[in-house]
Chains A and B, each alone.
Chain A
Amino acid sequence: QQPVQSPQAVILREGEDAVINCSSSKALYSVHWYRQKHGEAPVFLMILLKGGEQKGHEKISASFNEKKQQSSLYLTASQLSYSGTYFCGTEMPGWGAAGNKLTFGGGTRVLVKP
């Protein structure tokens, strides 16, 4: 039930673009994206709800394809500060008493070089 992230790692030059995918075999209600710097806590980036909504944070945006049960995170014109590990967290339908319970993917390590 853990979502699958791809690629596992990516190396970019400053200014380059990258796409990170998060796929689930189960129907999803929402997808959360977090970034974690080495030795630090994960930091929230954005939430995608089913319906294909696209959101943005700085030059980072994401989409949610409900038919494919997949979310993609787009790093555009990458900056050095974008380096870190990106995690998607997926939430199944049936929200309510269970709270905002997420299942996280294994992460994608991103290194942006000058």
Chain B
Amino acid sequence: NAGVTQTPKFQVLKTGQSMTLQCAQDMNHNSMYWYRQDPGMGLRLIYYSASEGTTDKGEVPNGYNVSRLNKREFSLRLESAAPSQTSVYFCASSEVRFRDNQPQHFGDGTRLSIL
């Protein structure tokens, strides 16, 4: 039972380069999320997808794009990386049911450094 799988686990980029972070879940969850966590800080929502075919902005969407490829996969793209995007990125998923709140399950994170 893999849960939420993120790739890669580590990445170093140069300023201006682009890359895509991949996330896949095997729990048949409707909703998926991308967060960033800066050192000593809490989690900030970048984008989320309430269900397959929909995406919406979170608190800090600037500089990022997302794609909900199918129910399992939700990718995060940095088009032109900046040093301010150095962070740990977490993907999460959850089942969403009416009046039945469910927890979010997190992947192990991608540690991204931009030089």
Interface residues of B in 62-115 (CB under 8 A from A): 90, 94, 96, 98, 101-109
Return the chain A residue nearest B44 by Cβ: A104
Q: How many Cβ-Cβ contacts under 8 Å join chain A to chain B?
A: 68
Interface residue range, chain A? 20 to 34
Inter-chain contacts of A43 with B (CB < 8 A): 106
- The interface size of chain B toward A, counting residues with CB under 8 Å, comes to 30
CB distance from A31 to the nearest CB of B (A): 10
Q: In the complex, how many angstroms separate the beta carbon of A57 from the nearest chain B beta carbon? A: 11
A105 to B37, alpha carbons, bound, how many Å? 12
Q: How far is the CA of A29 from the CA of B100 in the complex (A)?
A: 11
Binds B, one of A13-21, A66-74, A76-84, A91-99: A91-99
Q: Given contacts A41-B109, A42-B90, are A100 and B42 in contact (CB under 8 A)?
A: no
Selected contact of B103 from candidates A2, A32, A97, CB within 8 Å? A32
For the complex, give the distance between the alpha carbons of A107 and B35 in Å: 15
Q: Is the interface of B mostly helix, strand, loop or mixed?
A: loop
- Contact indicator A100/B94 (Cβ below 8 Å): yes
Is the CB of B51 closer than 8 A to any CB of chain A? yes
Are A99 and B96 interface neighbours, CB within 8 A?
Answer: yes
Q: How far is the CA of A80 from the CA of B50 in the complex (A)?
A: 37
Q: Are the CB atoms of B101 and A49 closer together than 8 Å? A: yes
A98 to B54, CA, bound (A): 10
- Listed in ascending order, the chain A residues whose CB lies under 8 Å from chain B are 2, 29-30, 32, 40-44, 47, 49, 87, 89, 91, 95-107
**Interface pairs (28), CB distance under 8 Å:** A2-B42, A30-B101, A32-B103, A32-B104, A41-B90, A41-B107, A41-B109, A44-B104, A44-B105, A47-B102, A87-B42, A87-B43, A95-B101, A97-B50, A97-B54, A99-B30, A99-B51, A99-B94, A100-B31, A100-B94, A100-B101, A100-B104, A101-B33, A104-B42, A104-B43, A104-B44, A107-B41, A107-B42
